[in-house]
Amino acid sequence: MNVPGTFTLGPGDGNARTGCLTTAHGDVETPIFMPVGTQGTVKSLCPTDLHDLKAQIILGNTYHLYLRPGDELVAKLGGLHRFMGWDGPILTDSGGFQVFSLSGLRQIAEEGVTFSSHIDGSRHLFSPEKVIAIQQNLGSDIMMVLDECVPYGADRAYTEKSLALTTRWARRCRQAHPGGHRGQLLFGIVQGGFFKDLRAESAAQLLEIGFDGYALGGLSVGESREEMYDILGDATPLLPADRPRYLMGVGAPRDLLAGMAAGIDMFDCVLPTRNARNGTLFTFQGKVNIKRAEYREDDTPLDPTCPCYACQTFSKAYLRHLYVARELLSYRLNTLHNLTFFSIMMERARQAIRDGRFAAFRAEMEAVYPTDEE
């Protein structure tokens, strides 16, 4: 077993690359999609389901788990892995994005972010040191620094000021977690909005501090696809090639393909789990809106090529019935299926990169997931 933080590159194809990241709870094959388990659960699934669909690493959220049930409690009960029964790698984003989007009245100052709990309105301060302490308590394998996710449309002056603060916070996070602490890794987060020179500045400053991996933040925050791809293409090569590169909050199938083509190794997005709950299902023949009347008498499986329990056992008619009847089983089966699709798509992408046919694989997937769709 390698030392946590070891990142070994495998075969590449253009800027796309395969790799293997060692964490304290096991190895992660990259490129990888990470299912989101905000409150210590990937909604409606058991950890055994996650292993069955070959999930390798999942996300927990610092903001939510701090507020409820509390990071101290989780630590007392043995840490997040034991608490939620998941023995694989866990990445916790420090919830900055949620802090900015969920809670009202947030104030940003040198010390950190002060915000109101979305649960009971109580006031809290997330300093870099606090955010590190929380993630240490949770026992996450990959921790994220405290950053400001700059709102879409922020002007250059605001973005520049925010970037400087984010770098100071990143330095304080590194000082609070100098590395090696129980094998817990720490990733920096590149900001700089949609200003290429500011992105370059942010990346250079984080490199100088030194992290186990580097994330691109401040994207998938309301910008157009081409704006995101423009920054993605320009900023990704600025991240060290020998460390994992993580594109936060992304994304739909075609965005994962674009990210991999640019050299991104790690992704997370609520799309497969959230869409499962509103009946939008991903298949290798395209998207299926299971609530549509056309499936009322459809006795065929959702995706005949899919090995998941939902596709192997039930018809579209039954999945539609469960959804329309708002049955709990609908969420579980739809989520099982969507995460299986994302898992298989990423496995096929890794193999395509190894075989030097990533461009063809991307074209094949994009034919089924056209541009104008989510």
Ligand X SMILES: C=CCOC(=O)Nc1nc2cc3[nH]c(NC)nc3cc2c(=O)[nH]1
Residues marked active site are found at 93, 268
Is residue 276 close enough to count as binding Zn ion by CB under 5 A? no
Minimum CB–partner distance for residue 168 and ligand X (Å): 13
Is residue 345 close enough to count as binding Zn ion by CB under 5 A? no
Handedness of CA 98, 102, 103, 105 (dihedral sign): positive
CB 291 within 8 A of CB 57: no
The residue (of 130 and 320) whose beta carbon lies closer to ligand X is 130
Residue 55's nearest CA partner among 9, 82, 21, 88 is 88
Is residue 16 close enough to count as binding Zn ion by CB under 5 A? no
x/- contact string, 288-327, with Zn ion (CB under 5 A)? ------------------x-x-xx----------------
Tell me which residues touch ligand X (CB under 6 A): 93-97, 144, 146-147, 149, 189, 217-221, 248-249
Is residue 45 close enough to count as binding Zn ion by CB under 5 A? no
Q: Quick one: the chain helix, strand, coil %, rounded to 5?
A: 45, 20, 35
Handedness of CA 203, 204, 208, 209 (dihedral sign): negative
Instruction: Tell me the residue number closest to ligand X, measured at CB.
Output: 96
Minimum CB–partner distance for residue 272 and Zn ion (Å): 11
Q: Give the one entry of Zn ion, ligand X, none that residue 308 binds, where binding means its C-beta sits below a cut-off of 5 to 8 angstroms depending on kind.
A: Zn ion
Residue 55's nearest CA partner among 65, 46, 64, 63 is 46
Sheet of strand 107-109, all strands in order from the earlier edge strand to the far edge: 107-109, 112-116, 123-126
User: What is the C-alpha end-to-end distance of the chain, expressed in Å?
Assistant: 39
Minimum CB–partner distance for residue 50 and Zn ion (Å): 15
Q: Give the one entry of Zn ion, ligand X, none that residue 88 binds, where binding means its C-beta sits below a cut-off of 5 to 8 angstroms depending on kind.
A: none
Where along the sequence are the contacts to Zn ion (CB under 5 A)?
A: 306, 308, 310-311, 337
